[in-house]
Structure 1
Amino acid sequence: MARTIQSLERAAAVLRLLAGGERRLGLSDIASSLELPKGTAHGLIRTLQQEGFVEQEPTTGKYQLGAELLRLGTSYLDVHELRARALVWADDLARSSGESVYLGVLHQQGVLIVHHVFRPDDSRQVLEVGAMQPLHSTALGKVIAAHDPVAHSEAADGERQGFTEHTVTDLEGFESVLDMTRARGWAGDVEETWEGLASVAAPIHDRRRMPVGAVGVTGAVERVCEDGELRPRLVAAVRDCARAVSRDLGARRF
């Protein structure tokens, strides 16, 4: 049986304790409830507080759950609702485009693939759910970075690796790409991340008009592009899919 990490178990216990009962507890209450030395409990709470998972009430000095947990919980629900709402539309997009379809969301410093529909042919393909894609070079990443301030900051401040000769790595050029993405409502990637592959993606918004992810198609350059440009019919199909999923999530403007 694999060994567990005691400090993580204790931190989880602190969060569960604050999630129930009185919701606001002092240091002594937490230490005694969990049968921990006060110094140990204080160290756990201080770390959780620094990460935003616990907050201290100024007047009483008692501790309560922090806003970061709310953000993580909301992200969890959004991702799963997003995937559930997008299933049928993603299948339709794969059939109409003849290409692989990816659904991605912001995760740490990249794009997490939460749904992948295979290209509808008999070719051998590998499921990429759970894979990470870069923010600065992929169509999914650029769309998310253009509409989500957190993703924008991660992409602008982080390292922008040059995967091919077409990858935009300088900050001024990258910001120009994001401006164009916002203006036209979609992003492209023609051999910027992988040689021989091109993709197009569009943003998905929820009922609060907040960006919650992106959907896109990826395929061989010779199929996705024509005369060096992304095929307009594929761009239109991807945008229609993004609008449909956004509408299902309650985004009225779509």
Structure 2
Amino acid sequence: MSDELEGKHGVQSLEVGMSILRAMADGQRSMMLKDIAAAADMPASKAHRYLVSLIRAGLVDQDPMTSRYDLGTFALNLGLVALDRLDRVRLGLNVIAEMRDEINQTTALAVWGDKGPVIVRWERPRRPITVNVITGTVLDLLMSATGRVFAAWMPKKIIAPLLAEELKQPALPPELKSKAGVEALLTEIRARGYAATNGQHRVAGVEAVAAPVFNFKNEITMSLLVVGVQGMFDTSPEGEVVKSLLRHAEALSLRLGAHGEAKVPT
């Protein structure tokens, strides 16, 4: 068989294994064997054989308590490496490191994922008391600064169903328990160019500010985030934290080709 013909055939077993991983990723949650098999369109016995190998490779984990399967550490690392190799993310990583050095606060970078804003990297400051941010965390839209930024500039058709779910949460502040209240907040954020939690962060004692980064289409593509301890963290517009955040977000947007006014979501 010629090299060209052999190359076109590929490795079927690898393709089958990838179909299982794809089914698990699409499921967006840990899954039972029968559900994985159904999603991958194969018998459960066949899916189980592949899952055993995928577990050995670190691409899948199985919870011994529930017997459910989920993506493993190596699979998650692959995803983070892929994100890291995107030019926009690489530039963003440099920026949050510069911000950390400049203001000596915890800084982070977030992008939009399947379920909302996701933290892809954070930088620890050199201070005794810090706020740690977990890479891979999916953030609320209404109770996080980054979520508010994305809610303010993402298309409404994408944001609306997520906001509808969050509006059902009983722990929301009174002013955010209605669509009118949420829209008023998002309008204010768009006007000033950044979002702050203002004592409403989901984690008690934490304060955060975030600003959008726009691409050449003037659409939001990332968010820069600064997190600190409430009472030890100046989130006023005149403070060094917000000034640094806005300056870096604007510079990164310009580097990504943004120009003129950002698009107002419709």
Aligned with 1:191 (options 199, 208, 229): 199
Going from structure 1 to structure 2, the CA distance change for 1:154 and 1:97 (only over 3 Å counts) comes to farther
Q: Which amino acid aligns with 2:245?
A: V
Is the 2:210–2:225 Cα contact (8 Å) retained in structure 1? Answer: yes
What is residue 109 of structure 1 aligned with on the other side?
115
Higher strand fraction (1 or 2): 1
5 Å-filtered alignment, 1:6-45, equals 9=19
**Unpaired runs of at least 5, structure 1:** 13-35, 37-75
What is residue 234 of structure 2 aligned with on the other side?
225
Is the 1:201–1:215 Cα contact (8 Å) retained in structure 2? Answer: yes
CA shift, 1:99, in A, is: 1.1
Is the 2:100–2:107 Cα contact (8 Å) retained in structure 1? Answer: yes
Aligned with 1:153 (options 155, 160, 176): 160
Structure 1 residue 215 corresponds to structure 2 residue 224: yes
Is the 1:105–1:212 Cα contact (8 Å) retained in structure 2? Answer: yes
Going from structure 1 to structure 2, the CA distance change for 1:167 and 1:201 (only over 3 Å counts) comes to farther
State the TM-score, normalized to the length of structure 1: 0.63
Question: For 1:223, what is the secondary structure of its paired residue?
Answer: coil
CA shift, 1:248, in A, is: 2.0
CA RMSD in angstroms comes to 3.3
CA shift, 1:162, in A, is: 4.9
CA shift, 1:156, in A, is: 3.0
Q: Which runs of 4+ in 1 moved over 4 A?
A: 4-8, 76-79, 122-127, 162-167
Tell me, in whole angstroms, the C-alpha distance in 2 between the residues paired with 1:11 and 1:99. 37
Tell me, in whole angstroms, the C-alpha distance in 2 between the residues paired with 1:139 and 1:169. 17
How many residues in Structure 1 have an aligned counterpart in Structure 2?
187
Aligned with 2:179 (options 137, 157, 171): 171
Tell me, in whole angstroms, the C-alpha distance in 2 between the residues paired with 1:123 and 1:151. 37
Structure 1 residue 93 corresponds to structure 2 residue 99: yes
Provide, for residues 133-181 of structure 1, a one-character-per-residue CA deviation record: whole Å limited to 9, x for no partner.
1111211011111011144324432223355657833222111100001
Percentage identity across aligned positions?
Answer: 21
Going from structure 1 to structure 2, the CA distance change for 1:7 and 1:171 (only over 3 Å counts) comes to farther
Going from structure 1 to structure 2, the CA distance change for 1:137 and 1:11 (only over 3 Å counts) comes to closer
Structure 1 residue 81 corresponds to structure 2 residue 60: no
Is the 1:135–1:142 Cα contact (8 Å) retained in structure 2? Answer: yes
Tell me, in whole angstroms, the C-alpha distance in 2 between the residues paired with 1:153 and 1:211. 16
Q: Which amino acid aligns with 2:212?
A: P
CA shift, 1:86, in A, is: 1.2
**Unpaired runs of at least 5, structure 2:** 1-13, 23-41, 43-81, 262-266
Tell me, in whole angstroms, the C-alpha distance in 1 between the residues paired with 2:231 and 2:174. 17
Tell me, in whole angstroms, the C-alpha distance in 2 between the residues paired with 1:11 and 1:100. 34
What is residue 181 of structure 1 aligned with on the other side?
189
Is the 1:224–1:230 Cα contact (8 Å) retained in structure 2? Answer: no
Tell me, in whole angstroms, the C-alpha distance in 2 between the residues paired with 1:154 and 1:131. 20
What is residue 131 of structure 1 aligned with on the other side?
137
Going from structure 1 to structure 2, the CA distance change for 1:11 and 1:134 (only over 3 Å counts) comes to closer
Tell me, in whole angstroms, the C-alpha distance in 2 between the residues paired with 1:174 and 1:209. 23
State the TM-score, normalized to the length of structure 2: 0.60
Question: For 2:227, what is the secondary structure of its paired residue?
Answer: strand
Tell me, in whole angstroms, the C-alpha distance in 1 between the residues paired with 2:20 and 2:137. 30
Tell me, in whole angstroms, the C-alpha distance in 1 between the residues paired with 2:220 and 2:21. 31
